């Protein structure tokens, strides 16, 4: 996967911080955690038949 090269050496560094005013909590995600989630999402989309040339979108709530 191409993203692996860019993330090398940063697995334990914080990549995203989610600060939720609704729950008054802060969640930090490392690069390794983000990569795990991205790979899982890519596998699900691939199983659903989504390919590189197909435009797609999703909404988070």
| Residue 56 placed within a domain | no
pLDDT confidence band for 1 (50 / 70 / 90): very low
What's the structural domain count of the chain?
A: 1
pLDDT digits (tens, 9 = 90+) for 4-50: 556 678 889 999 999 999 999 999 999 999 989 989 988 998 999 98
| Residue 8 placed within a domain | yes
- Reduce the DSSP state of residue 22 to 3 states and report it: coil
| Residue 61 placed within a domain | no
* Rounded average pLDDT over 50-59: 79
| Residue 12 placed within a domain | yes
| Residue 58 placed within a domain | no
How far is Cα 45 from Cα 30, in angstroms, rounded to an integer? 23
Under 8 Å between Cβ of 16 and 29: yes
pLDDT of residue 25: 96
Report which of residues 56 and 22 the model is more confident about: 22
Tell me the two tokens of residue 16.
């995203």
CA distances from 44 to 6, 20, 28, 30, 50 (A): 23, 27, 24, 22, 9
Model confidence at 2: pLDDT above 60: no
| Residue 60 placed within a domain | no
Structural domain that includes position 22? 3-47
């Amino acid at each position: 996967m191409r993203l692996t090269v860019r993330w090398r050496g940063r697995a334990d560094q914080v990549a995203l911080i989610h600060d939720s005013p609704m729950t008054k909590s802060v969640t930090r995600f490392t690069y390794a955690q983000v990569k795990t989630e991205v790979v899982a999402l890519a596998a699900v989309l691939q199983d659903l038949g989504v390919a590189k040339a197909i435009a797609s979108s999703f909404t988070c709530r």
